Structure 1
Amino acid sequence: MLTIALTGGIGSGKTTVADRLAELGAGVIDTDQLSHELTADDGPMLPDLREAFGDGVFHSDGRLDRAALRQRVFDDPSARKRLESILHPPIRRMMLERLEVLDTPYAVMVVPLLFETGQQRLAQRILVVDAPEDVQIERVRTRNGLTVAEIERIIASQVPRNTRLANADDIIDNAGSPETLEPQIQRIHRHYMDLAVRTPSR
């Protein structure tokens, strides 16, 4: 089965592209969703997070306070590394386990921190969804209500845009409207379907 790693900066439109590819027949595994499963109410990683960061990143009812945790890790690089060391290994294991049971022409693994975590070798091709920084900022500000300063800090914590583009096998330009995005998704889907036919079965 052909494997694709889909990545891009915050607000670039990764989820939009992945959801559309899923509708077209791709098997999609989103690591952000895996992270939410692991840290949901009664999630298996909550005790580790409480031990590492204390009660301050939890609501009084025991639910994870995601905003408090996000603030904590972006204020303290060592806290961010600690969070990554807790969550990234189980996320990777879950991703590979779900990849093994997919029965689709090709698989798309959505990994926002693909290059930051050195996971680009897990896939045969890398698809980057790209958008200029000003577009990223406006989308995230509208979607999440974060301040421009907060969004800029998140962007600065990710690999530079030119690094993603230089390492991409395929690029979708999502700087414009949905009308310009759909034809690109259709083209890349047809391309992956063609490649999948020539990819040996596992």
Structure 2
Amino acid sequence: MANTHPWVLGLTGGIGSGKSSASKFFAELGIEVIDADLVARQVVEPGSPALNAIVKRHGESILDTNGALDRSKLREIVFSDNSEKLWLNNLLHPLIRTEMLDQLARAQSPYVILEAPLLFENGLEKYCQRTLLIDVQLELQLTRTCERDKLTLDAARAIVAAQMSRSNKVKKADDIISNSGTLAALKSKVQGYHYSYLKRVKLHSCADKQQ
């Protein structure tokens, strides 16, 4: 019996690595991208059971003027109280995982990308047939982050330090794109990997049909 599950590529990279640009180039090639960060926002949209549960626990002051979740206020609460962080994770992580897997299963492209900055940190690679890391040297990563997000160097360093180390990501990833050059160079590398993944998907499909 053929496998009906999609062939999933896990795409990750630290802040300022160029992961979002790589994701966009894959999308231009016709590959559907499921963004884990976007899914995390979708499960707490106004009217959702998750947002209702958060409001019930913390009151309507947790909402902004449009009735949406005020993420900065929630962040302050969970960062100062580990029990609240645990409660929130227990609420949201199963919902995010279910929605993410549903979106992956509905994808119609030859393969589908799961884009997640915390792919390895959250163990999401277990849902992927292969993983691709967009890698960049620390100095360039900090420079890009400061310029893009208008951050101080210390603030950028703190964000990078909170993520899995570059060396550990390199060890875990199946494939690595070094993104120290231009966007055109990154696009060319993405195209190369895209065609290699299409070959892998074809072999995967043939193997399934023989089972």
- What is the TM-score with the length of structure 2 in the denominator? 0.82
1:190 is matched with which residue? 195
Shift of 1:141: 3.0
Shift in CA distance, 50/155, structure 1 to aligned 2, threshold 3 Å: farther
Q: Superposition pairs for residues 46-125 of structure 1, below 5 Å?
A: 46-51=51-56, 57-74=62-79, 79-125=84-130
- Give the percent of matched residue pairs that are identical in Structure 1 and Structure 2: 35
1:153 is matched with which residue? 158
Between the aligned partners of 2:55 and 2:150, the Cα distance in structure 1 is 26
2:140 is matched with which residue? 135
Residue 180 of structure 2 aligns with an amino acid whose one-letter code is A
Larger radius of gyration: 2
Structure 2: gaps spanning 5 or more residues: 1-5
Residue 113 of structure 1 aligns with an amino acid whose one-letter code is L
Deviations 1:31-86 (A, max 9, x none): 11111212334444222333455555432443222233345545556554444333
Check conservation: 1:27, 1:106, Cα contact below 8 A.
Answer: yes
Check conservation: 1:2, 1:195, Cα contact below 8 A.
Answer: no
Shift in CA distance, 7/146, structure 1 to aligned 2, threshold 3 Å: same
Structure 1: gaps spanning 5 or more residues: none
RMSD of aligned alpha carbons: 2.5
Shift of 1:175: 2.4
1:25 is matched with which residue? 30
- What is the TM-score with the length of structure 1 in the denominator? 0.85
Shift in CA distance, 157/124, structure 1 to aligned 2, threshold 3 Å: same
Deviations 1:139-175 (A, max 9, x none): 3333334444333333222211111110111111122
Task: Using the TM superposition, name which of 183-192 and 50-59 deviates more.
Answer: 50-59
